[in-house]
Amino acid sequence: MTPLTTVRLRAQTTVEETTLPFSSGALTQRATVEVQHDLRRNVSLIGTLTVGETDYRGVDLREKGLTASARVEYKLTRAVVLRASFTHERLKSTAPGSDYTANTFLVGL
């Protein structure tokens, strides 16, 4: 690691409302680690990994999620950034047919 590398850790627990019948709410827990390395003053590589779990109270439903992403940012000016990213998402659920996997590529200015 160098002074050009930044590591961020975040953890969060929330109680959320739900529209599911017989469920009093959902307890969501998430943890994220993000590593950013600045190749140059205006070029950054960023990798992020998030794991989470949602437990719906009162019903037999639990969801586990994983999101991993890689991003490159090129700062053209202070206000204009060219960004390219790839995100892989997975959700495993105890509800039949609710699991999914998604891959997303984005390019933006």
The pLDDT tens digits for 6-25 are 999 999 999 999 888 888 89
Token pair of 64 as six digits: 């586990």
Contact by Cβ (8 Å): 38, 46: no
Which amino acid is it at 51?
Answer: V
Global pTM reads 0.86
Q: How far is CA 30 from the centre of its chain?
A: 9
Per residue in 45-90, pLDDT (tens digit) is: 999 999 999 999 989 999 999 999 999 999 999 899 999 999 999 9
